[in-house]
A = this chain, B = another copy of it.
Amino acid sequence: MAREKGLKGMESRERLLAAAAEEFANRGFHETKVSTIVKRAGLTQPAFYLYFPSKEAVFDELVNAFRTRLHALIGSSRFEAQVEAQDVPKRVRMAVETFFRFLEATPHLTRIGLFLAPKAEEIKKELIALIAFNLSAEQQAGYFRSDLSMKTVAECLVGIVERLTLSQLLPGIKSPESLASQVVDLLLYGMLSMKHTSA
């Protein structure tokens, strides 16, 4: 009789969260009805309010979940920086790839936290700041052109990631690896063909 106290409740809650995530991701906040969420979770409306104070609260919880995982990812990526015996391009590619992989892993949360949430801009701002900080280190190490603003570069990178996530990654058209290598190739080496570059 392993009476897991509160197990069933937790499961219901998780089911509601998952259903909500999917609905929000597919239809947005307003088009998502509590009635649909609970139907998907096999429950009734009052059950929803047993676990969440309001529809907005679930949404916020999902946004925060995304944010938390995002911060966790970035925190852990700092460690790898120490193992950096690799060359810069490879390191950058790995980082971007990891990020794409992260976004791909929880597509609903990604859509919510990156595109739907009113807080999305704020979240991106944080992200950009962190990336800019990391890039600056490389820049000071002489790897990147000193006349570029890493803040701007970070912003561009995030813009690219957003777009490709929406148009290629989430629809499953391209893989994190392929996207990462294309993006990094472009950003590191630029578009110009060599003959012009050296001009």
Query: Which A residues contact B (CB, under 8 angstroms)?
Result: 29-30, 88-89, 121, 124-125, 142-146, 148-149, 152-153, 155-156, 158-164, 166-168, 182-183, 185-197
CB pair B153 A164 closer than 8 Å: no
How distant is the Cα of A124 from the Cα of B183 in the complex, in angstroms? Answer: 18
Q: How far is the CA of A29 from the CA of B29 in the complex (A)?
A: 12
Closest 7 CB pairs of A and B: A159-B163, A190-B190, A30-B30, A159-B159, A159-B160, A189-B190, A156-B160
Do B148 and A155 touch across chains, with their CB atoms under 8 A apart? no
Which residues of the other chain, B, contact A156 by a CB distance below 8 angstroms? 160, 163-164, 183, 186
Copies of this chain, how many? 4
Q: State A89–B196 Cα separation when bound (angstroms).
A: 10
How far does the alpha carbon of A197 sit from the alpha carbon of B145 in the complex, in Å?
Answer: 10
Residue of B at shortest CB range from A184? Answer: B191
A10 CB to nearest B CB, Å: 18
CB nearest neighbor in B for A146: B193
A144 touches B191 (CB 8 A): yes
CA of A190 to CA of B90, assembled, Å: 15
Q: How far is the CA of A129 from the CA of B12 in the complex (A)?
A: 45
Neighbouring B residues of A191 by C-beta, 8 Å: 144-145, 148, 153, 187-188, 190
Which residue from B125, B163, B182, B187 sits with its C-beta under 8 Å from A167? B125
C-alpha gap A186/B163 in the complex (Å): 18
CA–CA, A88 and B195, complex, Å = 13
Determine whether the beta carbon of A143 is less than 8 Å from that of B192. Answer: yes
Select from chain B the residue with minimum beta-carbon distance to A167.
B155
A163–B163 alpha-carbon span in the complex (Å): 9
Most buried by B among A121, A145, A183: A145
User: Which of B29, B166, B188, B193 contacts A144, CB < 8 Å?
Assistant: B193
Contacts of A188 in B (CB 8 A): 190-192
